[in-house]
Amino acid sequence: MATFGSALRRGLPRVAGGEPWPPAGAAAVALVAEPVEAAAAVVAEPVEAAAAGAAAVAASGPSTSSGASPVAGSGASAVAGVSLRRGLPRVAGGEPWPPAGAAAAVADVAPVAEPVEAAAVAVADGPSTSSGASAASLGASATSAGASAGASLRQGLPREVGGEPWPPAGVARVVADATVVASVPEHGVPVVPITEPATPKPAAPVAVAPADRAPLPFTPSVWPGRAAAHRPAPKPEPARIGPFTKAQWAGAVIVGGAGLLFAAAMAVLFVRWFLSLEFMQDFLVTYPGEYHLPEGAPVGIPAWLGWQHFFNVFLMVLIIRTGLTIRTEKRPAVFWTPRNNKKGKTSLTIWFHQSLDLLWIINGVVFVVLLFVTGQWMRIVPTSWEVIPNAVSAALQYVSLDWPTENGWVNYNSLQQLAYFTTVFIAAPLAVVTGFRMSGLWPKKNAKLSAAYPIEWARKLHFPTMLFFVVFIIIHVVLVLATGALRNLNHMYAAQGSVDGVAYADNWTGFWMFVLSLAVIAGAWVAARPLVLAPIAKLFGTVSGR
């Protein structure tokens, strides 16, 4: 059995503008689950007593009503002018409460014994003959109360955790209909007190065991523990050199190198088989890889040609180095500005690159002039159409690793001749023309000339030209060292050689001069930095930082 709390919950007022119902201070009592008949008898008995008392008062009304008539009349008219608000029905399926036509009661309402309200009984003012009608109406109200006791009571939420819905099953609602009349007698009907039953002790709370959880609709893949809560620090991103990491570059070099070695081995085997054929043997006899120079061609390499060769290598290495720096430099730290053009500000690296270009052009012009003056041009300029089949023959012999017999002191083979001619008379002028278009020496104000030769064309050609020089230098150095290093180095650096080709084959003079030249080039490579270049650049302009 459950009980109400100490304070009664209050709802909407029973009259418009009135206080919430029940009035403040009304006490809450427990509802006792008793048989429906007993509950009806308990309520009907006070109602009959109230009806008898009302009849007695009505009988003595004429002798005393004269003094109270004005007051009663005014109170009745005030109450009659107020319509009572109607709410939910008191029983399931009943009419809204209070009934239609009922008037609001003015008298204070006594505390009720349960949440179901008990209306006060008012007796109408009138002649003594109306007492019977009043008693009859009260009796009818009692009868209706007894009839409504048999209706089933609606249940709500429990009053305690885990309890049953409230009120308990079997408890009936007892409603005492109040007959409201238009007039009020001088002496109000005494209110019959309702005896409060003893409040039982609240039942001990019943512990409700928690229901088992339903199984998950999927297979769990994450479990509690260190693996779920621990967040290890992410590993740092490996350093990259260009688009790949060091490990990726190592793998690419290993895999690529193995692939190149395999391809080279297959090429050597195929060319050797191809040259072993009879018609190719006749081809090698007819075109051994070189042809005789014209009559009057100079023999040997003069000293000036060796010095020109050294200067050319020195400048080419630094030009390639600064060119690659320009392509990768994003935010230059040092700038150079010419004295006669304050708007021609450029980075110190570009200034050094263009300065090297000018020195290389001067060295090239001197080299070409001396070539034609001394007749050395016949060594690198083809003078017969036999150069083409001899070049093919020399290429096949190089691939087969059965290299052609040559003596650079007298003449080059046809493949070397074509390579030197392409480098000196095609690649070098192309590098000069494209570099001049991108330099500050180009007349930018000449719109027609700039439109005829767009700078985009120069940029697209300049870098591939540099790559050609890189490939040429690598192949040239490999062949010089592989086809008789001491003899070839003596020719180019010491200007020593013989017609038979074996006189200086064991001479180390040219080798040590080559090592000395490499040391000079390495020193220039290291010294090519702003700390060394800035004082030199100040002689020709203004050096500044960002």
Q: Which of 363, 371, 354, 276 is nearest to 313 (CA)?
A: 363
How far from 497 is each of 112, 359, 378, 505, CA to CA, in Å? Answer: 137, 30, 19, 8
Q: Which of 468, 466, 511 is nearest to 493 (CA)?
A: 511
pLDDT higher than 70, residue 443: yes
| Three-point CA angle 451, 455, 456, nearest 5° | 110
Q: Which of 370, 266, 339 is nearest to 543 (CA)?
A: 339
Contact 103, 79 (CB under 8 A): yes
Tens of pLDDT, residue by residue over 80-115, are: 455 677 888 888 888 888 887 655 444 344 433 343
Query: Tokens 């203004």, residue?
Result: 542
Instruction: Please tell me whether residue 329 adopts helix, strand or coil conformation.
Output: coil
Q: What secondary structure letter does DSSP report for 543?
A: E
Give the Cα separation of 473 and 469 in Å (integer): 6
CATH fit for domain 277-545, picks 1.10.10.10, 2.30.42.10, 1.10.1670.10, 1.20.950.20: 1.20.950.20
Q: What secondary structure letter does DSSP report for 545?
A: E
Contact 291, 386 (CB under 8 A): yes
Q: What secondary structure letter does DSSP report for 103?
A: B
Residue 80: both structure tokens together: 């009659």
Please tell me the least confidently modeled range out of 41-45, 198-202, 403-407. Answer: 41-45
Cis, bond preceding 167 (omega within 30 deg of 0): yes
Give the Cα separation of 249 and 242 in Å (integer): 10
Tens of pLDDT, residue by residue over 116-142, are: 343 333 333 443 344 443 434 434 443
232: Cβ contacts below 8 Å, ≥ 6 apart: none
pLDDT higher than 60, residue 35: no
pLDDT higher than 90, residue 275: yes
Please count the other Cβ atoms lying within 10 Å of the Cβ belonging to residue 87: 13
> What is the chain's mean pLDDT, rounded?
75
What's the N-to-C CA distance of the chain in angstroms? 92
The amino acid present at 300, given as its one-letter code, is G
Specify the domain boundaries for CATH 1.20.950.20 within the chain. 277-545
Angle, helices 303-328 vs 509-527, to 10°: value is 30
Q: In which band, very low, low, confident or very high, does the pLDDT at 484 lie, cut at 50, 70 and 90? A: confident
Length of the chain: 546
The amino acid present at 118, given as its one-letter code, is A
Structure-model confidence comparison of residues 38 and 198, the more confident one: 198
Buried b (16+ CB within 10 A) or exposed e, 487-504: bbbbbbbbbbbbeebeeb
Give the Cα separation of 457 and 434 in Å (integer): 8
Contact 394, 480 (CB under 8 A): no
Percentage of the chain surpassing pLDDT 70? Answer: 68
Q: What is the DSSP string of 344-389?
A: --EEHHHHHHHHHHHHHHHHHHHHHHHHHHHTTHHHHS--STTHHH
Contact 360, 309 (CB under 8 A): no
pLDDT higher than 90, residue 434: yes
Residue 351: both structure tokens together: 């200034």
pTM: 0.55
Q: What residue ranges in 111-169 does DSSP mark as E strands? A: none
Angle, helices 428-438 vs 455-482, to 10°: value is 140
Question: Span 43-64, mean pLDDT?
Answer: 40
Residue 518: both structure tokens together: 């490499």
Give the Cα separation of 128 and 125 in Å (integer): 9
What's the alpha-carbon Rg for the chain, to the nearest Å?
61
Q: What secondary structure letter does DSSP report for 172?
A: P
Q: Which of 189, 84, 186 is nearest to 138 (CA)?
A: 189
431: Cβ contacts below 8 Å, ≥ 6 apart: 462, 465, 466, 469
92: Cβ contacts below 8 Å, ≥ 6 apart: 151, 152, 153, 154
Tens of pLDDT, residue by residue over 199-250, are: 556 566 555 555 677 887 888 776 666 665 666 677 888 888 888 888 999 9
